[in-house]
């Protein structure tokens, strides 16, 4: 791959992840969902009931919805977006309040992009034990 091709691919991936981040900041659920590939797969780390791989857009969306319901999560800020030839990244700060625990946590979402859409995500929390506790008490 030439340097120009690599730069073009990175720019295209950055445009995809920026579109997603902007929709997330606006709270535009329809636009967020439209950013996901039909074969979207979510890899959730941790030692909680939602940890694991959620393959397919419906399964991934169901896991995300359940996580939101159980943690009362709200986006505080998109801290950064970046992309290369193979991956794109969003660094976000989210606020959690499930009635028993309240906290802000930075999260790193690493995406693989295909067909101009988010195809796969690996989610990494700065405080995984806290996330596990949030889900254990909800």
pLDDT higher than 80, residue 101: yes
Helices (H), 2-124: 3-26, 29-34, 57-71
Going by their DSSP bridges, the two strands 36-44 and 117-125 should be labelled as parallel
What stretch of H or E contains 113? strand 102-114
Question: What's the pLDDT score for residue 137?
Answer: 67
Q: Are 69 and 49 in contact (CB under 8 A)?
A: no
Query: Mean pLDDT over all residues of the chain?
Result: 95
Question: What's the pLDDT score for residue 113?
Answer: 97
Cβ neighbors of 18 (< 8 A, separation 6 or more) are 81
* Digit-coded pLDDT (tens) for 16-50: 999 999 999 999 999 999 999 999 999 999 999 99
Question: What's the pLDDT score for residue 44?
Answer: 94
Distance from first CA to last CA of the chain, Å, rounded?
Answer: 48
Buried b (16+ CB within 10 A) or exposed e, 77-90: ebeebebeeebbbb
Question: What's the pLDDT score for residue 5?
Answer: 85
Q: Are 17 and 113 in contact (CB under 8 A)?
A: yes
> Could you give the CA distance from residue 83 to residue 47 in angstroms, rounded to a whole number?
29
So what's the architecture of 3-137 in CATH? Roll (3.10)
pLDDT higher than 90, residue 4: no
- Segment 51-59 mean pLDDT: 98
Question: Is pLDDT larger for residue 138 or for residue 129?
Answer: 129
* Digit-coded pLDDT (tens) for 57-99: 999 999 999 999 999 999 999 999 999 999 999 999 999 999 8
pLDDT higher than 60, residue 138: no
């Amino acid at each position: 791959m030439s340097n120009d091709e690599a730069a073009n691919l990175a720019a295209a991936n950055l445009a995809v992840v920026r579109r997603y981040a902007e929709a997330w900041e606006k709270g535009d659920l329809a636009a967020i969902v439209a950013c996901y590939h039909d074969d979207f797969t979510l890899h959730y780390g941790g030692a909680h009931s939602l940890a694991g791989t959620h393959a397919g857009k419906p399964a991934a969306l169901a896991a995300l919805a359940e996580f939101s319901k159980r943690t009362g999560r709200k986006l505080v800020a998109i801290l950064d977006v970046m992309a290369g030839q193979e991956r794109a990244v969003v660094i976000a700060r989210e606020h959690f309040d499930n009635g028993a625990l309240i906290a802000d946590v930075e999260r790193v979402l690493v995406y693989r992009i295909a067909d101009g859409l988010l195809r796969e995500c690996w989610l990494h929390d700065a405080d995984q034990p806290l996330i596990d506790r949030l889900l254990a008490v909800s």
